[in-house]
Chains A and B, each alone.
Chain A
């Protein structure tokens, strides 16, 4: 057995939550409002459901093939060559996602906090951290997420709760929104912010009891989606949908406007950014790990450490490609939306084919497990 099966349900949930909550939290209300005006919370909710569908698919697949990642079982399902194409897309996509997230992180930092630090330094430092941490095995990887989870979720929730007091109900009405142009685009863009859930395909084979994976999917999406949903409500409620259209990072503005009671902290943006840096780190770690881990699986290597440094230059160069912050967001939106083919449509095809061809399933997986245990 490659990995000791040590990851618990709670750890898997932690991996999901801290992977999903990432750099996208800052522009989230903007994307949602562009799609549906005051209907932004509803749009976000629908997007969460859509992402949940994807998560459900890969969890189902994971339970069907409890000892394999998507790279491996796709070969069983649709044959080696087709699966190879799919896997290359997955690897390329997550490498791209990593680089764009790192770049987005750098842009926020350079714009709002460290104005003189070169972008390259910020991005590289973050990537180095992710690379270094990705050299651990998957159990340690899960522990890292488990450790950071409370640091991300609780302060995040606290900020949202304190900012909810600035909410004006009128800003959230009508819940369907006034204008619906660009609704579909916005819907997929927001759904794409949840694509980190894909990391579960890599976690399930290391779970102590993979059959309980559905539980962690549910809670993972519930916590991360809930936080995102609340943030959209708080931002739209506080600023109004039209004002959000003028703000590049509404969530950061929200933290700037929110103060703790009794003048303990006059603005929460510093506290928020600290939490956010950790959230970005865990996301980068996950997507980078997924890239590297999938590559090693694809080339049948026992260990992924070889690739962990090898991929870094490519990711870094890709991160440097966008010319400016607006172009970067255009790229992020396009990449994100098209990524849904990889993270939702592809698993859907796999599951359908697996059911038709009667691949995997309890009988198969059960016997394998029995052998290995």
Chain B
């Protein structure tokens, strides 16, 4: 009898002990206040004098190995808990009037990204968290030296999402982190909405960092990134497309050439405008592309790939300037013809511009690899060889341009 009672007691005891374990929380519990949520990060080159402020966190000078080249200054935007507005109705204590900022901007130097991040971690209490990172801005100087180390760090980090945007800044990248645009209370969110809207309006291809990485890995394509510049009021303008050869930035296009690029590849929606001369008059009209379609064909001619682009654009007229002429079916025909010639020239110019640098941002090489596999396997095989071959390929394009509407004005 006694034994049975004891057995029962032990059983109950074990049950209670087991239940105790349910009271504990998650092992990795980390309160939001203890987390430094990084929203944006920028990477600049640091001068040797600036490097003197570096603390010896991840290495000791002269004792542990340090990278031979490279020294950078990173600037981060850390969200301040409780001040990030959560919805449109919420005042959140943020905004300009309160004088309280929703983000805390810090900068630090280091030899590599992780070195700099560790230096930063050494000086702030909360644990850095990259899970909400939305924007990575890299300055032109750094991009020209190559992005491989930066890409490595962000690819390796399990927190960073591939839908983050990476962009190249014309001047100091840190300025973009410090800027405080008026439209959004969180500056990084403004940068990201600039890019999101640009994609939606057809001003830039959907080139988030995952896409950039995929493109840079492809053997027959070179990657590109938005090239941005800071304006007077702390806003950001997309002032072109930075194109790369391998991991190194080799050039930048004009903004309109982004439109031409998207036209060549038939990316929708259409979002660029261009002036067109009206034949026989001194007038100009502004043509707005709404829909792009493109058919790219690759043939091997004389042992070299030959690209044929058949392009179809639809759009409408937005503005008439210096207009001593009337728009009618016939003059629109003329405008279309004029546009077709201009487009072909635009294609040729952009193509030659990238060709000079050996940077196939169009991915023609991928088409060769995919559709002419035998030729590719025999002649090209590697990314290096394609970069060379790209300089020698030929392009032929024809476009059909339609003007569909002219707005609310009758002529």
- Across the interface, A117 reaches (CB within 8 A) one of B28, B158, B161, namely B28
CA distance A266 to B133 in the complex (A): 13
For A115, list chain B residues within 8 Å (CB).
Answer: 28
For B219, list chain A residues within 8 Å (CB).
Answer: 242
**Chain B positions 168-213 with a Cβ under 8 Å from a chain A Cβ:** 210, 213
Determine the residue in chain B with the shortest Cβ distance to A253: B162
Give the shortest distance, in Å, between A276 (CB) and chain B (any CB).
Answer: 15
**Chain B positions 361-396 with a Cβ under 8 Å from a chain A Cβ:** 363, 366-367, 369-371, 373, 376-377, 381
Of A111, A115, A179, most B-chain CB atoms within 10 Å: A115
Determine the residue in chain A with the shortest Cβ distance to B216: A243
Are B373 and A178 in touch, CB under 8 angstroms?
Answer: yes
- Interface 0/1 of B145-166, CB less than 8 Å to A: 0000000000100100111000
For B377, list chain A residues within 8 Å (CB).
Answer: 178-179
Identify the stretch in A91-99, A134-142, A169-177, A209-217 within 8 Å (CB) of chain B at 4 or more residues: A169-177
Are B158 and A112 in touch, CB under 8 angstroms?
Answer: yes
CA distance A176 to B369 in the complex (A): 12
For B210, list chain A residues within 8 Å (CB).
Answer: 239, 253, 257
| Interface flag for B27 (CB, 8 Å) | yes
Give the shortest distance, in Å, between B55 (CB) and chain A (any CB).
Answer: 24
- Across the interface, B217 reaches (CB within 8 A) one of A112, A114, A242, namely A242
| Total A-B pairs, Cβ < 8 A | 65
For A245, list chain B residues within 8 Å (CB).
Answer: 217
CA distance A218 to B163 in the complex (A): 39
- Interface 0/1 of B217-235, CB less than 8 Å to A: 1110000000000000000
Please count how many residues in chain B sit with their CB below 8 Å of the partner chain's CB atoms. 24
**Chain A interface residue count: which class?**
20 to 34
Are A266 and B27 in touch, CB under 8 angstroms?
Answer: no
For A85, list chain B residues within 8 Å (CB).
Answer: none
- Interface 0/1 of A236-256, CB less than 8 Å to B: 001110110111000001001
CA distance A113 to B159 in the complex (A): 9
CA distance A64 to B369 in the complex (A): 50
| Interface flag for B66 (CB, 8 Å) | no
| Interface flag for A185 (CB, 8 Å) | no
- Across the interface, B370 reaches (CB within 8 A) one of A38, A117, A246, namely A38
- Across the interface, A121 reaches (CB within 8 A) one of B27, B376, B381, namely B27
Are B218 and A240 in touch, CB under 8 angstroms?
Answer: yes
For B367, list chain A residues within 8 Å (CB).
Answer: 170
For B163, list chain A residues within 8 Å (CB).
Answer: 256-257, 259, 266-267
Determine the residue in chain B with the shortest Cβ distance to A38: B370
CA distance A117 to B367 in the complex (A): 46
- Across the interface, B162 reaches (CB within 8 A) one of A113, A114, A257, namely A257
CA distance A173 to B368 in the complex (A): 10
| Interface flag for B214 (CB, 8 Å) | yes
- Across the interface, A243 reaches (CB within 8 A) one of B217, B366, B370, B373, namely B217
| Interface flag for A116 (CB, 8 Å) | yes
For B27, list chain A residues within 8 Å (CB).
Answer: 114, 116-117, 121
Give the shortest distance, in Å, between B47 (CB) and chain A (any CB).
Answer: 32
Contacts A115-B28, A121-B27, A266-B163 given; indicate if A170 touches B214 (C-beta within 8 A): no
CA distance A247 to B151 in the complex (A): 12
**Chain B positions 327-354 with a Cβ under 8 Å from a chain A Cβ:** none
CA distance A121 to B369 in the complex (A): 47
CA distance A117 to B30 in the complex (A): 12
Contacts A239-B214, A243-B214 given; indicate if A174 touches B158 (C-beta within 8 A): no
For A112, list chain B residues within 8 Å (CB).
Answer: 158
Give the shortest distance, in Å, between B213 (CB) and chain A (any CB).
Answer: 6
- Across the interface, A246 reaches (CB within 8 A) one of B28, B161, B217, namely B217
Are A240 and B370 in touch, CB under 8 angstroms?
Answer: no
CA distance A98 to B381 in the complex (A): 40
Give the shortest distance, in Å, between A237 (CB) and chain B (any CB).
Answer: 11
Give the shortest distance, in Å, between A114 (CB) and chain B (any CB).
Answer: 5
**Chain A positions 153-181 with a Cβ under 8 Å from a chain B Cβ:** 170-171, 173-174, 176, 178-179
Give the shortest distance, in Å, between B180 (CB) and chain A (any CB).
Answer: 25
Are A116 and B28 in touch, CB under 8 angstroms?
Answer: yes
For B213, list chain A residues within 8 Å (CB).
Answer: 243, 246
- Interface 0/1 of A13-25, CB less than 8 Å to B: 0000000000000
Are A174 and B218 in touch, CB under 8 angstroms?
Answer: no
Q: List 24 A-B contacts (CB under 8 A).
A: A114-B28, A115-B28, A116-B28, A170-B366, A173-B369, A173-B370, A174-B373, A176-B373, A179-B377, A242-B218, A242-B219, A243-B213, A243-B217, A243-B218, A246-B155, A247-B155, A253-B210, A256-B161, A256-B162, A257-B163, A259-B163, A266-B163, A267-B161, A267-B163
In the complex, the 3 A-B pairs of residues with the closest C-beta atoms, listed nearest first? A173-B370, A174-B373, A242-B217
Q: Please give 12 more A-B residue pairs, beta carbons under 8 A apart, in addition to A113-B28, A256-B163, A266-B163.
A: A38-B370, A114-B27, A114-B28, A115-B28, A170-B366, A173-B369, A174-B373, A176-B373, A242-B217, A242-B218, A243-B218, A246-B217
